[in-house]
Structure 1
């Protein structure tokens, strides 16, 4: 559904989403990269487990929460990609321990 507009000057990076290597470019957000994946889901809701994906892309709706480099409930629309970054989809209730 989503595709990246080409920018030949952008540095190519690799990040890992649920352990799978994914191509990205400097200047993109994690949410933008996730929207290009076959499943753009970043989290499931804590009570009913409904899938959620990035929506507003400006840090207002909190639908894009995921675990980024071990930090849970990170707003992926506000985080620029870095080479070697690890992202995990966040499922259900977040552990407080």
Structure 2
């Protein structure tokens, strides 16, 4: 997945890397990144769509307030990506439309 994102990291942070899979593509990210930061670094935009009208959304506040960063992590939907640190082998996918809270799949309401 090409890194076409203008996302920049703070200087002077550890550059230890882990591999996550964003939409099944391996992406090297900093070990201290959140899942939402990995989405931005990978250029995965939009990272979700709204249940009501499929409007595109992406991580916004990155501090757990806005809930625009909802993504699927390791098969679990509705995960607040900005609050979850990456780990080696993590699988991150877009969340399109409404998701069943029990992870049984998407319900298209658009």
TM-score, normalised by the number of residues in structure 1: 0.88
- Deviations, residues 21-45 of structure 1 (Å, cap 9, x unaligned): 1111111101112112233322100
Taking the aligned partners of 1:70 and 1:89, their CA distance within structure 2 comes to 11
What's 1:87 paired with?
92
Structure 1: gaps of 5 or more residues: none
- Paired residues, what number? 97
1:3 Cα offset (Å): 2.4
TM-score, normalised by the number of residues in structure 2: 0.79
1:11 Cα offset (Å): 2.0
Higher relative contact order (CA 8 A, sep 6+): 1
2:51 to 28, 46, 56: 46
1:7 Cα offset (Å): 5.1
